[in-house]
Structure 1
Amino acid sequence: MLHTSLQGPQDAPVIAFLHAVGISSWMWRDVAAALPDYRILLIDLPGHGQSRDVPWVSLQDSADQAAAAIREQAAGAEVHLVALSLGSYVGFQMVMRHPQLCASALLSGIHPGDMPNKGMMKLMSAVMAPLAPRPFMARRTARMMGADADVDGFVSAAAQTRPAAFRRATNDVVDFNLSKTPPQPETRLAFVAGSREHTLIVDGLDVFNARFPGSVSATAEGLGHGWAGEDPTLFAGFVKAHINGNLPATAQALQNR
């Protein structure tokens, strides 16, 4: 089983969080703190954090394992999914394969497919895999992910990542293709991104919306791929808005309410 942590009001709806590659559920600490009215379920994905001894097999396998963890921990409560980067690809597979598990899902930093230069990206993944958990590289990543306030905490969490899991998970993201997925799930979907993310992700918001009628999308202006770390309060505001069914199109609209 994947390692999990559950905290918050006993009878509240559950928000399950899935983290980015090369880090652990530690990355959600500030976002979780901004959501005191919910029961927070933190999940470490295979090869990461305290699930580091669980082998990474595939996005689909990780999705099934995450679904099993949610079923065990949520105990029939209403569940909402929140994910970023690698976690969004796992979360996407999860709501497709387990369509009644989550009432809603907010997926940030996910591209719809057709990533260019796949061979080069996989070569870079192979080079980066043994370096990513090391302190000098983790410090760089921490700043890219907006974790300036606790770089040492990020470095400690990143050090638990298995290089093989980093490489395999990154390759699975490179190969991801929306066109290979089944029809619309029962989960209410939101696809979000920082406005400074790669154009493949930002432009992909319209692709996801077209593929899933009824889904919504939004951008966090001026923020990047790791915007949950750059502005955790704003990210939490997006989460609450989506759970309540009124996610705005931009961060500015949310702040102006």
Structure 2
Amino acid sequence: MDSTSVALNFIELNPERSNTIILLHDLTGSLLEWEQVQASLVDYHLLIPDLPRHSGSRKVRPLTIRHAAAACARLIRDHAHGSQAFAVGISMGGFVALEVAHSYPDLVRAIFISGTYDMKRAFPKGMYALPWVSAFIRHFVPSRVDQEQHRKKGIMWSRAFTRDARANSRLSIVQQGAREIRHFDLSRLVVRQKTLAVAATRMDSVNEVAALVGVLKQGNVESTGAYVEDAEHQWNLQRPELFAAGIQAWFEHRDLPEEFRHLTTVETGE
């Protein structure tokens, strides 16, 4: 099934609010990944989908960034107020958000992404797939062990999301998703929307996020980058209130929380 013709599974929250945000989860995640963040975004109309082959969208195929972007574009057209949305994405969801903005520019107002950068350059040769190898291993680890390992990192998630993440950690999904990220050419993007790219320092590459910012600035000089110290790659689950505060500040043209350290002109190579 082509994701352009089969609708994504999604939830809609706060429909009475004027401005829409679409929240896009990472590889092997699901819409339940945003439960803690969405609680702090009550002033926004929220669209939160499962991406292709994940959870409630498992029958939507194939799992490619471009097809996921097409499906998200359809969701925005059909359900966002004024057929426009602010886009938020983490990891693979960030790639999808950028592709929506690039391919369907009239649908996206501004962008907030985290953990999205060139994995091939950030990791030693042949090692870029390590994050997703661990995701696949999760499929075989007892759920209580999985939860405890993440709890030690400060990452808290519900039992329902644990079930989703384990079910979505099948080898075929992990392989396809990692392949998509490996071959996605960030340098080709023309993104006219103001974009904030964030690095979580416990895993993400600050230098690669800075390189991405250089690309984004070619489309909009207001695009910029930041990093958050002691944040895990999935810091939307580790520090959800801060994650939500950053989203709100960026989209509302306010100063970012002090925990967001600006990437300086030296780091971005400007």
Amino acid at match of 2:39: A
Across the aligned residues of Structure 1 and Structure 2, the Cα RMSD in angstroms comes to 2.7
- Tell me the residue number matched to 1:238: 246
Q: 2:208 aligns with which of 204, 209, 215?
A: 204
Q: Distance in 1 between matches of 2:231 and 2:131?
A: 25
Matching of residue 161 in structure 1 with residue 168 in structure 2:
yes
Gap runs ≥5 in structure 1: none
Q: Distance in 2 between matches of 1:197 and 1:112?
A: 13
Identity %: 25
Amino acid at match of 2:197: F
TM-score of the superposed pair, with normalisation by structure 2? 0.81
- Tell me the residue number matched to 1:227: 235
Q: 1:71 aligns with which of 66, 77, 87?
A: 77
| Larger displacement relative to structure 2 (12-21 or 47-56) | 47-56
Gap runs ≥5 in structure 2: 1-6, 263-270
Q: Distance in 1 between matches of 2:83 and 2:113?
A: 21
Matching of residue 2 in structure 1 with residue 1 in structure 2:
no
Q: 2:194 aligns with which of 169, 174, 188?
A: 188
- Tell me the residue number matched to 1:58: 64
Amino acid at match of 1:203: N
Q: Distance in 2 between matches of 1:47 and 1:141?
A: 26
Q: Distance in 1 between matches of 2:73 and 2:79?
A: 10
- Give the count of matched residue pairs: 248
Change (3 A) 1:23 1:142: farther
- The residue matched to 2:226 in structure 1 has which SS? strand
- Tell me the residue number matched to 1:24: 30
Q: Does the 8 A contact of 1:223 with 1:230 survive in 2?
A: yes
Q: Distance in 1 between matches of 2:159 and 2:224?
A: 36
Q: Distance in 2 between matches of 1:79 and 1:15?
A: 5
- The residue matched to 2:107 in structure 1 has which SS? coil
Q: Distance in 2 between matches of 1:141 and 1:20?
A: 19
- The residue matched to 2:22 in structure 1 has which SS? strand
- Tell me the residue number matched to 1:94: 100
